[in-house]
């Protein structure tokens, strides 16, 4: 097993290469290696790595010397001060890489930077497998499962009632439950909805699964949903990013990258603008965008007035997510 294959075994599905660094090239071309994607700049690389971590494995960037591994929680919220640079640990061998990642997981570290002193096609010791869950990770998983079970009871039932009461209303501006259901109903079986946190993400998270769709809500904004839609295309899937502001800055750069790659993805901007007249019009416009391929941006008029009802139903966690 090579280092690249071992990275896949611990959940690294994409390796984002940095603009000024060499590509791993032939070192990561085997069927068991991470998919490579070249980022146009460092900010985009970080967003792509964070989006990759939404699939419940580490996101990774590579600049030719330093391997950076991120959890989904490592991205900063928009407007937040930049985090202090993390230290770079020298890693002399594949065995040391395995040990470093196991130690980081035990500490619950959200970001680690490792300077590798060996090529990515180096063999990993036969004894190295995917790191077993550490006590800290097991405790975290248990707490998460307990919280999820609690929400799936009373809170989830109350949320379902709020969502269900809105689905029959199809006039524009759309209510957010109807808009989210439209997306889920229009996507093909291999589709996924990616949303940034906020009111739109809250509604997507509580509506799409009830319709039968798959959803990821990023822990912070800044284009993570757009990056996730691009990575979904790289996996042969169909991704729709739901955001509340038109893509600008780094998010716009990611759309330019998607166009350069001839990727197919859709970004829906839920706000006050858009010429859609009904839910049926919304579904028709989205289906046309998905069928046409390429990069498409659709403005969807959405009235978020009912968000307080959903927050009241789900509780404080939802209030934090909707901010």
Confirm if 299 and 271 have CB atoms less than 8 A apart: yes
DSSP letter, residue 45:
H
**Which strands, in side-by-side order, build the sheet including 35-38?**
35-38, 14-17, 59-62, 66-70, 111-116, 88-91
Question: Cα 311–317–319 angle (5° rounding)?
Answer: 40
If we measure between CA atoms, which residue out of 181, 133, 95, 115 comes closest to residue 11?
133
Query: How far is 185 from 20, CA to CA, in rounded Å?
Result: 42
Q: Pick the closest to residue 239 from 283, 191, 205, 195 (CA basis).
A: 191
Distance CA 240, CA 265 (A): 6
User: How confident is the chain (323 residues) per 10-residue block, as mean pLDDT?
Assistant: 85 87 66 85 93 88 91 56 67 92 83 90 72 37 39 70 93 96 95 94 94 87 91 94 95 97 97 94 97 97 96 73 57
Give the pLDDT confidence score for residue 79 in this predicted structure.
43
Strand order in the sheet with 238-243: 215-217, 191-195, 238-243, 265-271, 295-301
CA 25 to CA 4: how far, in whole Å? 12
Question: What are the residues facing 239 on neighbouring strands?
Answer: 192
Tell me the backbone φ, ψ of residue 62, rounded to 5 degrees.
-140, 125
Measuring CA to CA, how many Å separate 294 from each of 23, 194, 256? 26, 17, 11
Q: Are 149 and 115 in contact (CB under 8 A)?
A: no
Query: Residue 17, Cα to own-chain centre: how many angstroms?
Result: 18
Polymer length in residues for the chain: 323
* Res 270: pLDDT: 97
pLDDT at position 316, please?
A: 64
**Cα–Cα distance for residue pair 176/239, rounded to 1 Å:** 19
Distance CA 313, CA 200 (A): 16
Other beta carbons within 10 angstroms of residue 280's beta carbon come to 11
Residue 123, strand partner residues: 2
**pTM (2 d.p.):** 0.85
- Burial class of 283 by CB neighbour count within 10 A (0 to 12, 13 to 18, 19+): middle
pLDDT of residue 213: 87
């Amino acid at each position: 097993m090579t280092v690249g294959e071992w990275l896949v075994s611990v959940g690294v599905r994409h390796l984002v290469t940095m603009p000024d660094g060499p590509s791993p090239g032939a070192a990561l071309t085997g069927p068991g290696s991470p998919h490579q994607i070249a980022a146009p700049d460092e900010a985009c690389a970080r967003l792509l790595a964070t989006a990759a971590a939404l699939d419940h494995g580490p996101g990774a960037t590579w600049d030719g010397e330093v391997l950076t591994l991120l959890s989904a929680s490592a991205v900063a919220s928009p407007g937040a001060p930049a985090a202090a640079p993390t230290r770079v640990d020298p890693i002399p061998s594949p065995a040391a890489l395995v040990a470093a990642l196991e130690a980081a997981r035990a500490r619950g570290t959200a970001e680690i930077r490792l300077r590798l002193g060996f090529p990515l096609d180096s063999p990993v010791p036969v004894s190295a497998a995917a790191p077993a869950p550490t006590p800290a990770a097991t405790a975290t998983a248990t707490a998460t499962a307990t919280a999820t079970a609690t929400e799936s009871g009373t809170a989830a039932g109350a949320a379902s009632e709020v969502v269900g009461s809105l689905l029959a209303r199809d006039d524009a501006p759309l209510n957010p439950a109807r808009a989210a259901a439209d997306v889920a109903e229009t996507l093909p079986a291999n589709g996924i909805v990616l949303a940034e946190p906020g009111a739109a993400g809250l509604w997507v998270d509580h509506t799409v699964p009830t319709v039968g769709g798959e959803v990821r809500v990023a822990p912070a904004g800044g284009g993570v949903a757009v990056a996730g839609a691009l990575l979904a295309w790289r996996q042969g899937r169909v991704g729709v990013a739901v955001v509340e502001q038109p893509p600008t800055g780094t998010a716009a750069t990611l759309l330019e990258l998607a166009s350069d790659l001839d990727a197919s993805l859709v970004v829906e901007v839920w706000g006050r603008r858009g010429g859609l007249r009904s839910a049926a019009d919304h579904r028709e416009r989205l289906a046309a965008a998905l069928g046409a391929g390429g990069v498409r941006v659709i403005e969807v008029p959405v009235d978020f007035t009912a968000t307080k009802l959903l927050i009241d139903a789900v509780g404080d966690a939802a209030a934090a997510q909707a901010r």
